[in-house]
Amino acid sequence: MPGGSNSAVAEYAVGCAIVLLRRLAWADMEIRDANYVSFRGRMVGDNLLGLEGLTVGVVGLGTIGFAVADAFRRFGCEIVYHDPTPRDEAAAKLGAKALPLEELLKTADIVTLHVPLLPQTRSMIGARQLSLMKPGAVLIQASRGGIVNETALAAHLNTGRLGGAAVDVYSTEPPDTDNPLFALEGEAAHRVLFTPHVAGVTRQASATLFREAWTNVERVLLKNEPAQNRAY
């Protein structure tokens, strides 16, 4: 059932970008540790970014990538994208500009990944690619585990150069306890947001998927019509 989780993934990407850029989860922990005054002063002094006017780089402008890009666009973001498949029609609707991957990484304030795991996409975001990202940029990994080299991501978070990363998918799931991202400490640990492969999971998304699946059953069994969205 293609497209059923588009809105859910778009909400996830936008929500995580806001939480990371504005350090909302980090602030929660500091307040619990009685650091209200000092951390508020730091947040104000660091002049944290909101979304409006930022450049969002979407890697993979398919069905889900388009929904994510459109959600960011509605917050006033500029959209650039990288996709080996021509996406001219979708890009025109968004006012999005196509860029080579390396140029996208150098340009975007937020990089959000929405590509399948294929031989050519495995570890497509590694140490070299991460080093190209802008200081303070945020990475949203809600595609498939294996797209991002987790060791390289942990190393770049440790340097403090990246603004943060949201990680919803892992190279193995459940992730191994020795995953290098789980070993981050101090400020680096506050710059990463972990979720358990739920970017596309909401009550509304599930309702859409079940409803459309049942409609497909009715097409075949009651109306003698061919199935839609066949996977074989």
Active site residues: 144, 173, 197
Residue 167 tokens, joined: 């990680």
CB atoms within 10 A of CB 191: 21
How many whole angstroms separate alpha carbon 140 and alpha carbon 142? 6
Amino acid (1-letter code) at residue 198: V
Written as one string, the DSSP assignment of 10-52 is HHHHHHHHHHHHTTHHHHHHHHHTT-HHHHHHHHHHTT---ST
Peptide bond into 174 cis (omega under 30): yes
SS3 7: helix
SS3 226: coil
Q: Which residues pair with 202 in a beta bridge?
A: none
Q: Which residues pair with 192 in a beta bridge?
A: 165
**Cα separations (Å) of 37 from 42, 43, 155, 184?**
9, 10, 30, 25
Identify which of 10, 4, 17, 2 has the alpha carbon closest to the alpha carbon of residue 138. Answer: 17
